[in-house]
Amino acid sequence: MAAALFALAGCASSPVAVDSPQSVTQFDIDRYQFGMDRDCRDEGAKRGEAPPTVDAFCNCVYLTLQRNLSQSDWRRAVYFSLNGRERDEYQVLAPVMSTVGACRALPPPPGGGSLSSESVASSLVGNWQWVRPTDECREVYTFRGDGTARVESGNERTENTYVLADKPEPSGRVKLTLTTTKYLSGRNCEGLVQDVTGRTLSLYVLFGPENRMLAVCKSVADLDCIGPLKRSDAP
C-alpha cells in the first residue's frame, strides 16, 4: 500500500516520511483513511459493481476499521506506510481486515443500480473544513440545500451559487460549477486580495468514507486537489 494510498487521496502535496508513529498527525491519518476508501471504491468499480453496492461495502469496511483500530494503531499503520514498510503496515491492519469479509454479506441496497441526482447533490450539503498543514490556513465550504454556498479561505469570504453534476465521472469525481455572486472581503489562503464577483470555476469533488471527507480538485483526474476536507456537521 504505502504512499500509493496517499496518492489515491488526490492531494497535491507529496507525503513525506516521519521519524516515529508519534510524529504522525491527524491530517496524515485522514489522508490515509481517505486513500483506503478510494482504493476500495476503485476496486468495486473495476469489478463492475453498482455504485450503491460499492458504497455499502466500502462504508462497512471503514466503520469496521474505525471500531476496531485505536488511534495508536492508525498512527503505526500510517508511520509504516510513509516509510515504505508494507509488511509492518499489514501486520497492524491484518487482525481487523480478517473481519471485513462480513461486509460482503450485506443485503443488496434498495433501489438497485443507479445513483440518483438527488442523492449525489445531498451528499455535498453541509459544512466542510480543511486546514493547510504548511501554514494552518483554513478553508471552509458551506453548501446549502438551495444551491448557494459560502466559501471562507483564510480571511476571504464569498457568497456563491453551485451546480453539482448528476453523476460522477469515470474517475469517481463529480463536477462542481461554482459561481461567485458576492465578494465580501479578505486575503485568501493563496495570499490574494481580489474581488472575484462573477467568476465561475469548474471544480471536481471526490467523496470519502461515509461522505464525511471530501477532496476538491481542479481537474477530472490529475493530482491537483486539496483535502481531505472533513464534514463538521451532520449531513
**What's the rounded Cα separation, in Å, for the pair 151 and 133?**
19
All three cell numbers of 190:
493563496
CATH of 117-231, one of 2.40.30.20, 3.40.640.10, 3.30.360.10, 2.40.128.640: 2.40.128.640
Distance of CA 204 to the CA centre of its chain: 11
| Residue 105 reports pLDDT greater than 80 | no
What pTM, to 2 d.p., does this model score?
0.75
* Distant-in-sequence, close-in-space partners of 18: CB < 8 Å, separation ≥ 6: 24, 28, 79, 82, 83
Residue in this structure with the C-alpha cell 443488496, named with its chain if needed: 108
Q: What is the pLDDT of residue 119?
A: 57
From the number of C-beta atoms within 10 Å of its C-beta (0-12, 13-18, 19+), residue 48 rates as: exposed
Of residues 193 and 233, which shows the higher confidence score? 193
| Residue 118 reports pLDDT greater than 60 | no
| Residue 180 reports pLDDT greater than 90 | yes
| Residue 156 reports pLDDT greater than 70 | yes
**What's the rounded Cα separation, in Å, for the pair 186 and 122?**
29
Domain ranges of the chain: 4-105, 117-231
Segment 101-114 shows an average pLDDT of 65
pLDDT in tens, 136-148: 899 999 999 999 9
pLDDT in tens, 209-221: 888 899 999 998 8
| Residue 31 reports pLDDT greater than 60 | yes
Report which secondary-structure segment, H or E, holds 117: helix 117-124
**Which ranges constitute the DSSP H helices of 47-112?**
51-68, 71-82, 86-97
For the chain, the average pLDDT equals 84
Q: What is the pLDDT of residue 12?
A: 42
Q: pLDDT band for 80, please (50, 70, 90 cuts).
A: very high
Report which secondary-structure segment, H or E, holds 28: helix 26-46
